[in-house]
Each structure stands twice: as C-alpha cells, then as structure tokens.
Structure 1
Amino acid sequence: MVAPYLLRVALVAIAKYFQWHFRNTLVAGELTVEVSLKVLKQLELCNAEDEREFDYAQGSEKGPGRWGELKKEWTACKNGEMQSPIDMSNQRVEIIRNSRKLEKDYKPCNATVKNRGHDIM
C-alpha cells in the first residue's frame, strides 16, 4: 500500500500540473478541486484499511496463529504463554468465594462508538 505521505505528495504534484497547464482558468480550478477531492477520498479509504491490525480467522495472515509476529509488543502471543482472547484454564484462574459485592459508580457522558468488525471501540 502506498503511504499516505506519498499520496499527499502526488496530490500536490497533480494540483501544480493543472495550475501550470491551464494557467488560472476556471476549468483548471474546477479540475484541481475535483482531482484533489478524489485523492483525499482515497487517503481516507487508505486510513480505514490500516485500522485492522489483527483478526480472529484461523489461518489468516493476521489471525491468532500470527499475532506474535504482527507487532514487537505482541511477541508473548507467539510462545503460547500469553494470548488474546484470554486463556482462562482452571490452573490459571483463582476463584474467590467470599468476595464483596462489586460497587458500580457510573457517571453519564457522551461517547462515539465504532464497530470495527472484531471489536467495538
């Protein structure tokens, strides 16, 4: 995928070409705006594609079997000692029978929720 920086450079080059070629005519201004908007729309789409760092599909390029290779911070996923989704085996979970009641203290606030397909952010 082309880096967003390179796409911005291309946008500037295209705009300068139209300015040079048509020399301040109304057509050049309209074409420059139209091309600029199309390139900016592509930049927006590129950013959306980058959002998915991993997925849950077995055998996928970004699936659970490859999580430990996707980012340096995720190497613990590779050796099976730590992973996500959380591995709650009986040997690793401590059940506390006499725990006190969970106290909730929520305050209303505004939020924007985005469904990214594998989680909600």
Structure 2
Amino acid sequence: MPAPILVTGAAGFIGHAVAHRLLARGERVIGVDIVNDYYDPALKEARLATFSGINSFAFERIDIADAAQMAALVRDNNIVRVVHLAAQAGVRYSIENPFAYERSNLAG
C-alpha cells in the first residue's frame, strides 16, 4: 500500500477540497492544520468534520513551522508526497502581525 499523501492546510477552503479529491481517487491522506483563529475556527472545524468516518483520512493539529513535529510526522508515516497549502493569508494582517507571516509562510 502506498504511503499517505500529506496535505497541509487541510482545514482551509482549498486544502479541504484537495484532501476530499485525493480521498475520492482512493488515496490515503494525512491532513495537517493548526486551526488558528485568523478566521472563524468553527468554519475550519466544520470542514474537518466532513472527514468523520473516513478511515483513509487522519488529521494532525500541528503548526507547520514546528520542524520537529513535522519531521516526525513525515518520518513516522513514510511520507513521500506533500500538497503544501498551509499559509497565513491576508495582506492587512501581515502589516499588523509580520512575525505570524514569517513563522507560517517562511519557516513553515
């Protein structure tokens, strides 16, 4: 059985859709998202709930900028394919919180 595909930003609009598309074609998926409060976490949780009962999907609440956790996830699951969609969005927010962008969009 092939290793799962890692999808970062799995609770986001695009990541959620990509994960479902991969599952529909028979892939195993590990979704990663920090589920921060940049926009309503309830919306993100609702998206994640659509994976409930899908055995070929696993979710990890991890900050992609946490190199040790991400390395362990990749190593422990033999990940060789990644769809990297996680990012801190919003131009105005970047002016107010530049280090949130640096951590997520550069380090992550």
TM-score of the two chains, using structure 2 as the length reference: 0.22
Structure having greater relative contact order (Cα 8 Å, sep ≥ 6) = 2
TM-score (norm 1): 0.20
